[in-house]
Amino acid sequence: MSGSKTYLNVPFAQKDEARALGARWDAANKKWFVPADKDITLFAKWQAAPLEMSAATMLTKPPASAIKKKF
CA 47 to CA 34: how far, in whole Å? 10
Pairing of strands 24-26, 6-8: unpaired
Q: Which residues pair with 32 in a beta bridge?
A: 8, 25
Using the predicted structure, report yes or no on whether residue 16 has a pLDDT greater than 90.
Answer: yes
pTM: 0.63
Residue 40 makes CB contacts below 8 A (sequence gap 6+) with 6, 34, 47
Using the predicted structure, report yes or no on whether residue 13 has a pLDDT greater than 60.
Answer: yes
Query: Given this model, what pLDDT does residue 49 score?
Result: 64
pLDDT digits (tens, 9 = 90+) for 21-59: 999 999 999 999 999 999 999 999 999 765 555 555 555
Exposed / middle / buried, residue 52 (Cβ in 10 Å: 0-12, 13-18, 19+): exposed
CA 68 to CA 71: how far, in whole Å? 10
